[in-house]
Chain A
Amino acid sequence: MMPTDVMKAEERLQAAIALKPVDRVPCAPWIGEYAGQLAGITNKEFFADWDKKMSAYDKVREAYPMWDINREDSAGFTVGTRSVWPIRSKMPGLELPDNAPRQFAEEEVATREDLKIIKEQGYFPYLMRVSAKMHGTASEEQMAVFGLAGQLAAKEKAIIEACGQTMYYGFIPGVPFEMLSFHRSIQKAYKDAFQIGELLDEIFPIIAESTTGMAIGQIKANGVKRAFLAGSRSAPQFMSKKNFERFCWPYIKQMAVALIANDITPSFHFDSDWTTGLEYFLELPKGKCILELDSATDIFKAKEILKDHMCIVGDVSPILFTVASPSEMDEYCKKLIQVVGKDGGFIYSNGCTIPFNSKHENVKVFFEAVEKYGRYN
């Protein structure tokens, strides 16, 4: 929190979502593994030692008190809870060197036969089967991991709120095509779209409904009224219009409408290029959703199209954190805040996560831009 702030973090976030005035631009970078690098610990320590991870975030907050919206999913990003992820991870200190960034292993886990379980028995039994294959966890063990993740999330929420921040995400799933690609691999998912489209037509509504149900249940329990929806592989960049309108958009909309009906804000974490699909978001209720962009989409075009309709998060690119000069970073941040932040409906952030190997001086410039360009009171 900054001394000149007149709004609390949650108040500021909700105002931005509702397209109402704010005292200054909400600052919501996804810090991720960079926190450990700033704190001087290895990535192995960051993932394996909860106290060291929390202490690393304390250091970021100390250095950058303007950081008010907390998007970290620490509970899901530990060695002990890695099986909550729908894709297998290679972890530093385990499958990777001690200070390597965590990596996803893109591989086929679910078979086409497994997908039929969704139709025959429901999404949850399928998820348990895929988890067992992916992570080697039996159902009871998997449920215990979910329980542990829930406890860690509650601990983190308490820390975040005590520091004057607000927690952004109450639940983190993906839209149906995204989940298919995590479980089947990207390559097989595109093949499935071509070869077994009828089966996908049957199972995608079930996945959308079940996932939404899980989100509603979890958010009722934790009170954090935003649901992250992953959708980078579902982008119109990668899909013909016909297939995007068949396999992606209807379920994005289905999930969004159901969440909004339960007073939950869907936050579309839509990496990759969504520029050609921005108009679709006008179909969703005004002031009730968030669109997170990672710099592949033209965020300035997004502002033109969605300015009086939907809050936008983004989008300082990884290149600006890792390779560019501090002055290039400052120039972009200024343009971003002044153009996309004009008249509200904007949450200032990087695209996706701050790169693990970011230059510290560039990160400093990123945060300093909040006061330089984003103060309105």
Chain B
Amino acid sequence: MKILLFGGFLGSGKTTLILQLAMHIVENINEKVAIIENEVGEIGIDDKVLAAQGLQVRGLFAGCVCCQITGDLVQAIIELEETVQPDWLIIESTGLAVPSKIVETIEKYCHCYETLNTIVVVDAERWQELYEVTGDFVVSQIKSADSLLINKIDLVDSAESIVLMDEIKQFNDGASIHLTTAIEQISPKMMQEMLKL
């Protein structure tokens, strides 16, 4: 089982990207996908709709914003591996999580996966606002990434996109960086690059 952990602030577009990627895997690569999603501050994935399309979805307890979710996440990963045996497990973390903390927990308590990679979605439209308000927090999310998707670039002009890309690179120059617009279909080429991590 290969794990892709999606991080990024609330409203950055994680859910939309996850759904496109999941359908790409199912329809074009013919592999089994399971999704773990949590609902803190996000629009939930409709698991019944997705089950009809061949995707297994597990929702996590959406309590107050505290650490409850880490225990439930580990149990959900183990349960899915045992019962569904997906080829790919996509985890949507809460928008208030620092993905590296989740990775630490998975590495310590789960031993049923081949690879674990982190994709962080950056909200191009709200970047300045989020950086101003949350400071190091959004930076810590970016630093956690193996791959960065700068999303909603249709809502900023191309010069801003380039400046943003340079700024993000300064926080994490090791991650691959892609510009994207999740409301349009992401290119198969970009999807393949995300899967090759």
Residues B133 and A190 in contact, CB atoms below 8 Å apart:
yes
Chain B stretch 56-115: residues in CB contact (< 8 A) with chain A:
61-68, 70-72, 74-75, 95-96, 105, 109
Residues A237 and B137 in contact, CB atoms below 8 Å apart:
yes
Q: Does B157 contact A (CB under 8 A)?
A: no
Chain B residues with CB under 8 A of A238? 96, 134, 137
Q: Does A103 contact B (CB under 8 A)?
A: yes
Residues A185 and B65 in contact, CB atoms below 8 Å apart:
no
Q: Kindly supply a per-residue 1/0 record for chain A positions 349-365, scoring 1 wherever the CB is within 8 Å of any chain B CB and 0 otherwise.
A: 00111011100000000
Chain A residues with CB under 8 A of B129? 190-191, 194-195
Distance of A239 Cα from B135 Cα, bound (Å)? 6
Main secondary structure of the interface of A (DSSP, over half): loop
| A352 contact from B11, B67, B137, Cβ within 8 A | B67
Residue of A nearest to B65 (CB): A232
Chain B residues with CB under 8 A of A318? 67-68, 70-71
Once A101-B61, A106-B62 are accepted as A-B contacts, the answer to whether A194 and B133 lie under 8 Å apart by CB is yes
Residue of B nearest to A100 (CB): B61
With an 8 Å Cβ cutoff, the count of chain A residues facing the other chain is: 40
Q: Does B41 contact A (CB under 8 A)?
A: yes
Chain A residues with CB under 8 A of B39? 103, 106
Once A238-B96, A296-B66 are accepted as A-B contacts, the answer to whether A243 and B135 lie under 8 Å apart by CB is yes
Q: Kindly supply a per-residue 1/0 record for chain A positions 95-136, scoring 1 wherever the CB is within 8 Å of any chain B CB and 0 otherwise.
A: 000000111101000000000000000000000000000000
Residues B11 and A355 in contact, CB atoms below 8 Å apart:
no
| B41 contact from A187, A271, A324, Cβ within 8 A | A187
Nearest-neighbour CB distance to chain B for A30, whole angstroms, equals: 11
A-B contact pairs, 9 of them (CB 8 A): A102-B63, A103-B62, A193-B133, A238-B96, A243-B133, A272-B66, A318-B67, A323-B75, A324-B109
Interface residues, chain A, with chain B CB atoms under 8 Å away: 101-104, 106, 185-187, 190-191, 193-195, 232-233, 237-243, 271-272, 294-296, 317-319, 321-324, 351-353, 355-357
